Amino acid sequence: MKNLIAANWKLNPTTKKEAENLLKGIEKGIKGLMSEVVICPPFVYLPSLKGLELGAQNVYFEEKGAFTGEISAVMLKDLGVSYVIIGHSERRKYFGETDESVNRKIKKALESGLKIIFCIGETAEERDAGKKNEVLERQIKIGLSGVENLENINIAYEPVWAIGTGNNCSVEETKESINFIRKFVKPETRILYGGSVKSENSGAYIKDAGANGLLVGGASLNAEEFIKIVRSSEE
Ligand code: PGA
């Protein structure tokens, strides 16, 4: 099984030119490497980015109709997009995403032939209250409810307190969480780690924590740094 290294560009960069240059830089630097690398830019850049596998950062659970501002799985697939991130904690926090809407989105995206990067993770409060496993179990069980075939499902374990804070989760704790998550998926399901991944800490998640890939936010906006992260996962 190949490691999956996904770049979550979030609401960046601010122009199409910058997006194209960033992608070109990454493409050049990862030539010959073995990992599966997926770039998840804002929707509007998807049609102009060529050369690497692409993912969207969100999708709607209806196919068409009167849903102003939404994008469907069929539209993404038609554009040649292969992956979609679903359930990112920023969408849960700022845009009212729930375990139930995540589940509807996952089912719709699978139906359209997209591969999923399904994000789960506990907040600092939930962790402090000793509820981490309970939260992860709920997110997985509701998120994947009615999903029989896990072939196109990848789980990204992203502790909310570790995202964008520089406070990445320790390898020991990540390993524990990955082992816990493993109980609810197939042995061949890839489980990624995300949350303040940098080239200095990235390799250990693969080698020591048992992750099968990484979901990289901030550090994926710098081609050189992102390339180092992909390399580190293969050493
Ligand atoms: P970060 O973001 O690497 O900037 O912490 C990761 C993510 O939100 O997917």
176-209: pLDDT as tens digits: 999 999 999 999 999 999 999 999 999 999 999 9
**How large is the average pLDDT for residues 83-102?**
98
Q: What is the mean pLDDT of the chain?
A: 98
Nearest Cα residue to 199 out of 163, 232, 222: 232
Q: In the structure, what pLDDT confidence band is assigned to residue 1 with cuts at 50, 70 and 90?
A: confident
Which ligand 1 atom is at minimum distance from the Cα of 85?
9
Residues with CB under 6 A from ligand 1: 8, 158, 163-164, 194-197, 215-219
Please give the pLDDT value at position 7.
98
Mutate to test the pocket of ligand 1, among 38, 90, 196, 200 (most ligand atoms within 8 A of CB): 196
> Atom 7, ligand 1: which residue's CA is nearest?
217
Q: Ligand 1 centre and the CA of 66: distance in Å?
A: 32
Active site residues: 88, 158
Characterise 20 by phi-psi region: left (phi > 0), alpha (psi -120 to 50), beta (else).
Answer: alpha
User: Are 127 and 170 contacting, i.e. CB atoms less than 8 angstroms apart?
Assistant: no
Model confidence over 24-62: pLDDT tens digits?
Answer: 999 999 999 999 999 999 999 999 999 999 999 999 999
